[in-house]
């Protein structure tokens, strides 16, 4: 098992690294050339700039049994299709049961934005409670995946 983080502007990278380190799970941070990342624990892969370049690289690397951390519903859908697990920095798990609805919501929100008739709020400021929720849900996901690997 590896953990892949879509690390461009990911607010939970350090939390994920700390939990991964406790379980001795390797982490790969993927970012584009516009983001300078460094880590004492994770492997950092800098992917050339370009629309979706990081997303494509992440999906090419991940495999069944891996865990992907991403805010991108499309990346999550592709990861699920490869048999990986996926989690949002909010702590929400992406699953086969919810991904279609999430993709539809994304499509409709984009359509509303493009129409110029609807003003959608941005994301709320991240709080310590958000970090705790992510840590708890991520830890739970890791434990479940480790249990499945043993059986």
**pLDDT confidence of 124, banded at 50, 70, 90?**
confident
Half-sphere exposure of 126 (CA within 13 A, CB side): 12
Task: Say whether pLDDT at 147 is over 90.
Answer: no
pLDDT at site 35: 81
pLDDT at site 99: 79
State how many domains the chain has: 1
In this structure, are residues 64 and 82 in contact, taking their beta carbons and an 8 Å threshold? yes
Task: Say whether pLDDT at 113 is over 80.
Answer: no
Task: Write out the H or E segment, with its range, that includes residue 95.
Answer: none
Quote the pTM value. Answer: 0.87
Task: Say whether pLDDT at 65 is over 70.
Answer: yes
Task: Say whether pLDDT at 75 is over 90.
Answer: yes
> Which of 42-46, 59-63, 110-114 is predicted least confidently?
110-114
pLDDT at site 11: 94
pLDDT at site 117: 66
pLDDT at site 3: 98
- What is the domain extent for residue 127? 3-150
- Tokens of residue 83, six digits: 């048999």
What is the Cα–Cα distance from 42 to 31, expressed in whole angstroms?
A: 12
**C-alpha angle 78-127-18 in degrees, rounded to nearest 5:** 60
What are the pLDDT digits (tens) for 18-40? 999 999 999 999 999 888 789 99
Compute the 3-state secondary structure of the chain and give helix, strand, coil in percent, each to the nearest 5: 45, 15, 40
Three-class secondary structure of residue 31 per DSSP: strand
pLDDT at site 55: 93
List the CATH number of the domain containing 89.
Answer: 3.40.50
């Amino acid at each position: 098992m590896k953990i892949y983080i879509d690390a461009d502007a990911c607010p939970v990278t350090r939390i994920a690294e700390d939990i991964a380190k406790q379980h001795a799970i390797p982490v790969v941070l993927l970012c584009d050339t516009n983001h300078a990342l460094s880590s004492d624990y994770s492997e950092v892969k800098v992917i050339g700039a370009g629309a979706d370049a990081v997303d494509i690289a992440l999906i090419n690397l991940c495999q069944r049994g891996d865990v992907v951390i991403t805010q991108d519903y499309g990346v999550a859908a592709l990861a699920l299709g490869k048999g990986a697990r996926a989690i949002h920095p909010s702590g929400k798990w992406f699953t086969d049961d919810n991904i279609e609805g999430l993709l539809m919501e994304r499509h409709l929100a984009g359509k509303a934005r493009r129409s110029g008739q609807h003003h959608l709020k941005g994301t709320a400021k991240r709080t310590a409670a958000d970090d705790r929720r992510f840590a708890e849900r991520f830890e739970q996901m890791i434990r479940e995946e480790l249990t499945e690997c043993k059986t």
